[in-house]
Structure 1
Amino acid sequence: MRAQATPAGRARRRGPTAGRVIVYALLIFWTFVSLFPIYWTITTSFKVAADVTQGHLIPWIDFQPDWRGWRSLGLSPDTFERTSTVRDEFLKRFENSIIVSVGASLLAVVLGSLAAYGLTRFQYKFGKLGNKDIAFFFLSQLILPPVVLAMPFLVLYKELALLDTRIGLILLYTLTVLPIVIWIMRDQFMTIPIELEEAAFIDGASVWGAFLRIILPIALPGMVAAFILSLVLCWNEYFFAALLTSTDAKTLPVMVASQTGSQGVNWWSMAALATSAILPLAIVGVLLERYIIKGLSAGAVK
């Protein structure tokens, strides 16, 4: 004979099921909240003015998609073969964003990895300050509002002839993302046993040899995660790009924010530009997702 389940047993079985339903419902809701702005941006790039102002959301139901936003940038199928000054400007701003973001992210990862390795393998003393204090000092730089640095950098870059140059933005962006890279890589290096380097030293390897041949391959996921996070921050930066550039080194966020006309904001053009700016980061995130997860969770469990 089969034993009948008691009320307490049935309640225990229902408990986990109800909990999972609630968790999944909350995750679905949060996914909708997170992705809706992207959906709204993409659909707005295919709307005309009336559809934008009336808040139509569902293509082919609320509104008929149109290439107006992309056509205004010379990026629609019917304008590809035509000469377009706006498209030329977009491509130049897009190129500036790629060069500045990738250059600053690579430089920050190189410098940040070296600094983080030093903080985890060597002991430094500046008066009463030790390694933990130095690491916190780097992180504290993120607390400083960017507007506080506006005037000093404007005067400094004018004296150094770095205004409206890509190299000027690369150096500045490197400074802004360097603290984040140091903290990510510091956690990464702390998870790597020091015995691996000691074994390499016994085999005759130098400090640089052990670092380059043993430590860096193990820390690669963290470096990729730090690079992608830096890339996103540099790609989306607007304040300094608008302050320190005028024509030659303007980036894509500055062009997105400038889509205004005599009759107000050109929402369709701004949405098309924003969609073009989102797409490269989305592709990078999808292709390197496993590295991002491994890198950012490296210091969570030891």
Structure 2
Amino acid sequence: MPSAETSRRVRHIVGRVLVYGALLLWTFICLFPIYWTVTTSFKSAVDVTQGHIIPFVDFMPNWKGWRSLGLSPDTIFEISTPRTEFISRFENSIITSVGASLLAVILGSLAAYGLSRFKYRFWFMRNDDILFFFISQLILPPVVLALPFLVLYKDLALLDTQIGLILLYTLTVLPIVIWIMRDQFNSIPVELDEAALVDGLSVWGAFLRIILPIALPGIVAAFILSLVLTWNEYFFAALLTGSDAKTLPVMVASQTGSQGINWWSMAALSTAAIAPLVFVGILLERYIVKGLATGAVK
């Protein structure tokens, strides 16, 4: 009969195989849409309709999707109207998403620090009630706000402007940033603030010179989450823009023609839209991990 030590090792090995097998399966499920999108950008219409998946086995890759955007090797140095439009939409997405994320992180960090370090009383509301009020703004579906924002932006001449999208996106992600940063500041001992005040720093000095550097991982995590949400936002971008401030998600959704959806063009656009977020995630990975480890993201 096998010894107890042998049985324990067998159970340990089987357990690890099951765990890693489940992780690999979940990784495949999560990454398959990205793989499908990237490979579809190199397919022809027949390959798309027949569901060919594996390059060089099921189909031969071609540059049809990228050629339709003027981004293929044979068109990249030529004048291309689609490429000009793509660059314009790409710039709009960068300006609006980065601008809104930075503004939301700045305002959200200030609000979260106040809710974490000071006691507020507004009528019957205390700190936790104020925090819940902020996060409760996410309960409203965007379609409910469509008409009010449309009328407001028309009166303020903010329709089809980058600043209009930046302000709206900031309001959209601000509750999430406040929620994240409040937990981040709560994880930092109050004694650090008190020591800074004893050393002669003001409240602003303690916040900027002591607390913010410690909370940097949480700030980066909040910024990346805001960036992803604003970069992928479609509804308000389609509603409040016409030609000047239109973003990439709107351009991706417009890849339809009289014969149906141009899957190869849509896939190429989607791949180009995904790439910056992947690059930012890889570049700031260590900050994201630190933010998760300190409880910045729940």
Assess same fold via TM > 0.5: yes
Q: Name 2:253's counterpart in structure 1.
A: 257
Per mean C-alpha deviation after superposition, the further-off stretch among 195-204 and 95-104 is 195-204
Matched to 2:184, the amino acid is: Q
Matched, 1:282 2:255: no
**What aligned pairs does 1:16-165 form with structure 2 within 5 A after superposition?**
16-165=12-161
Structure 1: gaps spanning 5 or more residues: none
Q: Could you list the per-position Cα deviations for residues 274-296 of structure 1 after superposition, in whole angstroms to 9, with x for gaps in the alignment? A: 00000000000011011112113
Q: Name 2:292's counterpart in structure 1.
A: 296
Runs of 4+ in 1 over 3 A off after TM superposition: none
**What aligned pairs does 1:229-240 form with structure 2 within 5 A after superposition?**
229-240=225-236
Work out the CA distance in 1 between the residues paired with 2:113 and 2:149.
29
C-alpha contact 1:221 1:295 (8 A) present in aligned 2: yes
Q: Name 1:11's counterpart in structure 2.
A: 7
User: Cα distance, 1:210 vs. partner?
Assistant: 0.5
- Over the matched positions of the two proteins, sequence identity in percent amounts to 76
Work out the CA distance in 1 between the residues paired with 2:71 and 2:209.
46
User: Cα distance, 1:5 vs. partner?
Assistant: 6.2
Work out the CA distance in 2 between the residues paired with 1:245 and 1:116.
32
Work out the CA distance in 2 between the residues paired with 1:75 and 1:84.
9
Matched, 1:211 2:207: yes
Per mean C-alpha deviation after superposition, the further-off stretch among 268-277 and 189-198 is 189-198
Q: Could you list the per-position Cα deviations for residues 86-117 of structure 1 after superposition, in whole angstroms to 9, with x for gaps in the alignment? A: 10000000000000000000000000000000
TM normalised by structure 1 equals 0.96
User: Cα distance, 1:299 vs. partner?
Assistant: 2.3
Structure 2: gaps spanning 5 or more residues: none
Q: Could you list the per-position Cα deviations for residues 179-236 of structure 1 after superposition, in whole angstroms to 9, with x for gaps in the alignment? A: 1111111111011111111111111110000000000000011101100110000000
Work out the CA distance in 1 between the residues paired with 2:225 and 2:241.
23
User: Cα distance, 1:246 vs. partner?
Assistant: 0.5
Work out the CA distance in 1 between the residues paired with 2:225 and 2:73.
33
Matched to 1:190, the amino acid is: N
3-state SS of 2:125 partner: coil
Work out the CA distance in 1 between the residues paired with 2:12 and 2:125.
50
Work out the CA distance in 2 between the residues paired with 1:57 and 1:300.
38
C-alpha contact 1:74 1:87 (8 A) present in aligned 2: yes
Q: Name 1:191's counterpart in structure 2.
A: 187
User: Cα distance, 1:152 vs. partner?
Assistant: 0.5
Q: Could you list the per-position Cα deviations for residues 5-47 of structure 1 after superposition, in whole angstroms to 9, with x for gaps in the alignment? A: 63x4433222222111111000000000000000000000000
Q: CA RMSD in A?
A: 1.3
TM normalised by structure 2 equals 0.97
User: Cα distance, 1:300 vs. partner?
Assistant: 7.3
Q: Could you list the per-position Cα deviations for residues 41-99 of structure 1 after superposition, in whole angstroms to 9, with x for gaps in the alignment? A: 00000001000000001111100100000000000000012111110000000000000
Matched to 2:148, the amino acid is: P
C-alpha contact 1:190 1:299 (8 A) present in aligned 2: no
